[in-house]
Amino acid sequence: MPKVIGMLDKIIQDLTEKQWSFQPGAISPAELRLMAPLFEGDFQPARVGKKGERQRVEEIRGDWISWIDVLDPPAEIQAQIKLLNELKTQVNQNLFLGLKDFECHLAKYPIGSFYKRHIDRHAKESSRALTYIFYLHQDWKKEDGGELVIYQRSGEKIATITPESGSLVTFISDDFPHEVLSSRRERRSMTGWMHTQIIN
Ligand code: OGA
Ligand code: MN
């Protein structure tokens, strides 16, 4: 598996140097085709707000999500869960984040939906330390939109990322406000957070 090891090394290097990373080609087109049926299952409207007072607010966030049991994932994404476990180990060895666990959901953004600028680390749920996003749609083109825009805490825009099919984005959750721009096609991802506490 030299290719996989190589990519993890690059992620670690990026996280160390700039606290975020974009890796194209983390998942092959053939694997993406096998994953497509996962998006035909049951999805719930994603909500915003603190625990206990979560609400659907499409003006903020229009995606639909389906949680994955990372301890018993569907066969189609077992390789990615394995990679995430390996990433957790390497991040701990190199960046000393003390990651203990991770959570994961599939997300689909209907045409024209978006997720306004936000930070993933809720004040009341402070164990989220690392965000990761795999883009699982097929044949995504620049014109399809749906960019992930990443900002510095100071407000300066630092990257506008086209969600290329099969690519993987990682960043330190606390460091980067970010938003998802609207797209011209259904935008599909597998998104999650690594935590400094056991959550599963
Ligand atoms: C999120 C999020 C970014 C993306 O789900 O919190 O910011 O590119 N996703 O899908
Ligand atoms: Mn986010």
Please tell me the chain's helix, strand, coil percentages from 3-state DSSP, rounded to the nearest 5: 25, 30, 40
pLDDT score recorded for residue 1? 55
Could you state, in chain order, the average pLDDT of each consecutive group of 10 residues for the chain (200 residues)? 76 98 98 98 92 88 97 98 98 97 98 96 82 98 98 97 98 96 98 94
Ligand 1, residue 187: give the atom nearest the CA.
10
The closest of 120, 128, 121, 130 to 87, measured between CA atoms, is: 130
pLDDT score recorded for residue 160? 98
Ligand 1 pocket, mutate which of 133, 149, 175 (most atoms under 8 A from CB): 133
pTM, rounded to two decimals = 0.95
Measured by CA distance, the residue closest to atom 8 of ligand 1 is 148
- Give the dihedral sign, CA 1/74/197/18: positive
pLDDT score recorded for residue 10? 97
SS3 19: coil
Angle at 28 between CA 25 and CA 33, to 5 degrees: 135
Ligand 1 pocket, mutate which of 67, 180, 187, 188 (most atoms under 8 A from CB): 180
pLDDT score recorded for residue 196? 96
Which one-letter amino acid corresponds to residue 76? Answer: E
- For 158, the enclosing helix (H) or strand (E) is strand 157-161
Question: What letter does residue 90 receive in the DSSP assignment?
Answer: H
Q: Of the ligands numbered here, which is closest to the C-alpha atom of 105?
A: 1
SS3 174: coil
